[in-house]
Structure 1
Amino acid sequence: MPGRGCCCCHSGRSTRPSGWRTATSSTDWPRPRRRPTATRTGSGSARRSAATSGWVHPGAPRAAALLAYQDACLSHTENGIYGEMWAAALVASAFTASPAREALESSLEHVPPRSRLADVIRDVMNQHSLRGTWEDALVHIQERYGHYSWVHTLNNAALVVAALLWGEGDYARTVGLTVQGGWDTDSNAATTGSVADVLLGTSGLPARFIDPLHDHTRSALFGFDNSRISDLAARTIRLAVDGLR
């Protein structure tokens, strides 16, 4: 399964810019009837936003899912929306869960139970219960969900679930397996990395992934390039403590 990284960068068809333009052009805009497309039912930009919804609602997956819903509706449809809600609930659940399977079970409560996304999550969790290998899981996911676009929510969600379960609580293994799975690699790794990070806590993260950064991150977001990671964490904590105003 080839990995392509960010859907926004490679396809040039990110739904995010048009979504923000629509939202900011009017305070009372009608919801358009959108035709489902690969990017609108996709998962990349939506699930990367979902982590923040989970971080600011630690241990409150319902609140995280509701915040993610408001964000996803700007640019996504159907499983694209469900995917962001699920990822937000997953990150929020990780604050009070251990191991990853417990967080996954909790996150399922915030996905429409008859949706294809819920079916995919349950399917991969069942595969793990059968005690197959990681390689067995990849074959199963490829055969069952490989027909979807490489940015679709469903196939990428299957990889996220598999990596969290077969990663067995090891941060490097979890993220590494995620990228090995292919498809939307950067978005998937952002999700599994966020969940694994919360489950392990700061003290459980390998120093080889932290020390080389020197508490700084690069960003294409205007005004935030070379930001201190600790400052960004503090901003997120303030939102979690003081609420979204």
Structure 2
Amino acid sequence: MTNITTSQRPGRAGVPFIKVAEAADALQAAGQKTTLRAVRDRLGTGSMSTIQQHLATWLAQQPQVQAAEYELSANLKRALKAELSVFAKNASSALTSRLVDMEADHAALAASAAETETALVEAQERLSAEHLAVAMLTAQVEELRVQLATTQKLAETATTAERDAKATAAAAEARATEASLTAMMAEKRAAAAQERITELTDRLTMRDMEMTADTEGLRTHNASGPMPNSGHDNG
């Protein structure tokens, strides 16, 4: 079993050592291999690199068999040699199996690192795309601001022109009204003058007629001679 109390490493990010140790203990108790992939599958979560570090610590804490020093008999030595030969073969097989497991763990770590690297590259590409999109949107916003300012300036100019045009039209209308009144007064004065002329012409015509009548009367009187004396002439 693992000495969890002395081997726990507080502050480590990701899955804690105690979880990895419990999973390894469970696999060992079930007679299964404590490979990195097996521990990761049993945990169901966690970074492969973090689990590998905890698993290495767990393996280092496993008890090792210490050989005692004592003298053996020849028969026992032969038997032990034969046993050791079998054990060496078994150990070699176990080491080979362990090496295969370690190579599998290494391959899993490499695959996880590659996936992480790929994810990092994709994230950087997305971030660059987002930065580009933000830059484009910023440029569009600035362009719209310029267009808005131009439109507002044109609107102000149009408003000023309209106000000036209305003022000019009002002044022209006032001048037209004044001219119309002046024309009406001139027409009235002309009509009064014409009436006065007609009146004077009529009076002059009558005067001419009277003078003509007087002249004709004098001519008739002169043509008929002096009038007879009434007997009262003292001459």
TM-score (norm 2): 0.23
Structure with higher Rg: it is 2
TM-score (norm 1): 0.22
Larger RCO (CA under 8 A, 6+ residues apart):
1
